[in-house]
Amino acid sequence: MGLVDYGLFSEKLPPCFTSEGLSDYVPNILLKLITETDEKKLNKLLKNREHDFIRYEPLREVNITRQIGIPHPESHIVQCLALKRHWAKIKRHCAKPETPMSRLFVRKMSSKRVFRMNYKGKEHLENEEADIRKMTGAHYVAHTDISNCFPSIYTHSIPWALHGRSKSKKNRSVLLEGNLLDKVTRGTRDGQTNGLLIGPHPSNVISEVILTRIDHNMVQKGYRRFYRYIDDYTFYAKDHNEAEKFIHDLGMQLREYELTLNGRKTEILPMPLPIKEDWVRELNSFRLPAKGATVHFGTVRSLLDLALELAHGAETYAVLNYAIKMMPRNLDSRAKRLFVQETINLALIYPYLAPILEEHVFNKHRYDGIEKAILDFIEQLLAIGIQRIFPDAIAHALYYSLKHNLQLSTPEDKLREVIEIDDCLSNVLLLEYAKRYGVNGIREDIRRRVDKLKGTDPREKDRFWLLIYQLWLKKTLNDEGQQFLADLKRNRFGFVSFR
């Protein structure tokens, strides 16, 4: 049940949001989803399990937002149980072609038994060797990706991928593996057939079901010198015509599943080309002191200056993310202070960097008195988030405040503007802040906002399910048609933890 416990909340969220242990509270009636063979009973189990979802907008590297989703826990559990029911079928399906073209796989992490879609970490060297073999005889490389992939996936294409379109259209029973996965996936988006939620891990599994079928079809057409990472394709071609034909044939295959290529990101380039981008090679070539040697600020400054120069040249600020993460741990005391301040300065200009500071800066380079630097940072980050309507910046500012036990000097009138932005997760964290520091006016304002949801359409309540869970009593949840949340509340399950 790793997907239930660790697949609800995206890694893009502040890490205080958790569903760990949720599998212990799966109702027995839902567990029948794994084994039920009577179609009528299975349909009855699935009835009224569809929900809308929480919207959240993490920042991307160019300081623009991208919507991700947090499904209602009931529809999330139902989807996970359906995946568990047909896991053997999914594994066999995703093993095609025999030499997988996807650079993703479903990883079962030993520490938390979390299923995660990721690079095949320990097989990185094997992938590198495979790439070099695929380049043999190639004179061109084609790059392309799927336009707006997850939001464009048509859920009815899940059974098409597993069983073929003809069989799927003839057999609409939920006992057919693909039909069940189609139905429960729609359930995480209030019954909508267009789109997968970005963020939850089950969406990655579903996308692989569809895209692995397309990979297999392309191999059947004779294309073996390509690989795919999520929705990005790379193909090594012997000549320009073959590269063009690959893009054409891939586009036609995608159309079979209601998907299209992204023309803006499609290109054919002459070989040879470096495997890694220029800025990655430049940073990896930077001469750091020997392992274990003390690092002084001059080295820190040089690395950050190089990263900024490369970022401007490459027009991507992922360079800064990479450089911050590669900074050695053994900085001297002055280097620590100044590196922390430099990364804070960068994160205030590029707030998308804020989420990495906890692990790669504040914890890794902690020093006596760092709390003041963190407090100054989060107060400014909060102000930027409110001014520019960046809920992600607001949420991370409040998270850092709660995680480090730092009370803000931000006036109540300014905090009230967070409520007006009406972002569910930001308001959950603001509520936690108000409770911890006794800001009763803010606490009551959030309660009044949430109480406006009483008697509204269930979809409206679903979009704020975590906030109503935090505020409403069991009886109120029951009265408002949220029996599943009421049962979790009765068991005192918590979705927010600062351990």
pLDDT tens digits for range 418-470: 999 999 999 999 999 999 999 999 999 999 999 999 999 999 999 999 999 99
pLDDT band of residue 499 (cuts 50, 70, 90) is confident
Average of pLDDT values for 11-36?
95
pLDDT at 334 over 50: yes
Average of pLDDT values for 205-228?
94
Q: Residue 117: its pLDDT value, please?
A: 45
Q: What is the pTM of this model?
A: 0.93
pLDDT at 271 over 50: yes
Q: Residue 341: its pLDDT value, please?
A: 98
Q: Residue 106: its pLDDT value, please?
A: 53
Which letter, b or e, does each residue of 55-86 get, where b requires 16 or more Cβ atoms within 10 Å of its Cβ? bbbbbeeebebeebbbbbbbbbbbbbbbbbbb
Q: Residue 459: its pLDDT value, please?
A: 95
pLDDT at 52 over 80: yes
Give the SS3 label for residue 268: strand
- Looking at the chain, the whole-number percentage of residues with pLDDT higher than 90 is 85
Q: Residue 127: its pLDDT value, please?
A: 76
Average of pLDDT values for 98-110?
61
Give the chain's mean pLDDT. 93
Q: Residue 99: its pLDDT value, please?
A: 64
Report helix angle 412-421 to 424-437, nearest 10.
150
Report helix angle 318-326 to 297-314, nearest 10.
160
Cβ(207)–Cβ(149) under 8 Å? yes
Average of pLDDT values for 264-273?
94
Alpha helix (H) residue ranges in 270-317: 278-284, 297-314
- Looking at the chain, the whole-number percentage of residues with pLDDT higher than 70 is 95
pLDDT at 8 over 90: yes
Q: Residue 122: its pLDDT value, please?
A: 58
**Residue 189 identity (one-letter amino acid):** R
